[in-house]
A and B are shown apart, each in its own frame.
Chain A
Amino acid sequence: MKVAVIQFPGSNCDQDAVWALKLVGLEAELVWHTEKNLEGFQAAILPGGFSYGDYLRAGALAKFSPVMAEVRRLAQRGNPVVGICNGFQVLTEAGLLPGALLANTNLHFTCKDVYLRVERTDLPFTTGYQPGQVLKIPIAHGEGRYYSDAETLERLEQNRQVVFRYAPPPSSAEGEADGYNPNGSLNDIAGIVNEQGNVLGMMPHPERAVEGLLGYADGLPFFTSLKQALEAVGA
């Protein structure tokens, strides 16, 4: 059960993803972006950061990295592939997920807690959640506004490809309901999957929300779900 955490030059949440995977008992290895072989890995995570400095456009250069052909092959074979934050941007740039991530409507980088509603609990990443459960997970991005043309958006909704949606906090003591969507994403989209349900991209950082010590627990089921799914396939 080995998960590849892809390291592009400029990735900076790579170690955090490895830490979270190991915390739930998964094997995780950093894989440098020039690697041409992902043999032996059952899943891949494209972590957050600023791949290639986000020059040109967030995620735009990383899609040309040699390792991406292998990530694509893994995705086509039905193995779980996750893009978090910058990784989500890379997946849309690479055409593995539809739509694009545009600059936040506030036009600046925003790091804070947001609340997410879980829309699907039948995916390798979400079986540990309850339908409609509201999670507290931090975001940290400048370009996270999910956008697609109307047709794609409708298809996403019809196929139930929206996995996480920004939602108001469950109680007023935890924040204000106004402006719960932190970046202006269409339909409050925070994370989506492909039609097959094995390639997921999300802007919030579940890997930052796996330990009570740091004030979070809601990201943990994301990784335990993944572990279960990989074990089920492996068995």
Chain B
Amino acid sequence: MEPIIKIENLHYLYPGDEIETLCGIDLELHPGTFTAVLGRNGSGKSTLAKHLNAILTPTAGRVLVCGMDTADESQLLRIRASVGMVFQNPDNQIVANVVEDDVAFAPENLGVEPQEIRRRVDAALRQVGMYEFRMHAPHLLSGGQKQRVAIAGVIAMQPKCIVLDEPTAMLDPSGRREVVETVTRLCREQGITVVLITHHMNECVGADRLIVMSNGIIAADGAPKAVFQQREMLEREGLTVPVTTALLQELRAAGMDVPTDALGIDECAGRIAARI
């Protein structure tokens, strides 16, 4: 299948910096997949995200979104309408005083017909479960709700891909769950390609693919189960494996013959039960 995003030998140097933030990234993202990107602060994961919808353009190398080069300014709007971006701080990305007006912002910018905007806004708000709040003032919502409004604001553009740059960093645990469940559903039910950048290992469990960034390069790339096996590398990157994987790995190290690739709690319990 044709990749939706294709990155070829991407280098990026922030103006005024001496060391490249991204030093040679090659990556292909396929339609309908859920990719999680992990890495400590300064590993370059946010910088990578900003390349996916042409907020930043490569110092060297190429980024192709649906075949369009992000360096080509004439394609800018089409690229940004194809790849929606959700940021960390929900307060700083909501532009209107009423939820539904905010969701309408992107289609308005794209010049969509008023009735079609109305339809898209209602559909987007239903998809994130915020339809009942459409007349509310955003500043009175919880963090998780605000972030779901931000997601609705992006899917109203009908993008092929959504990139979420640490959308849960400022949320409490229940808000975090709301957001991750929402994007997982969008990916599974609507077939939208999702790129979730995060600090939290637990949010990667449901992903198809897990990429670990380190000092501007990709340190690991594979199915979450496979990546979590590389515990030493992850700990070197300041990341902790999910407790289930850690438990199985400890048991195995202690001499119990259990497979260590279980992620879910039930799955993990099943593996242990099968051995005792």
Q: Are A and B physically bound partners? A: no
Footprint of A on B, CB under 8 Å?
none
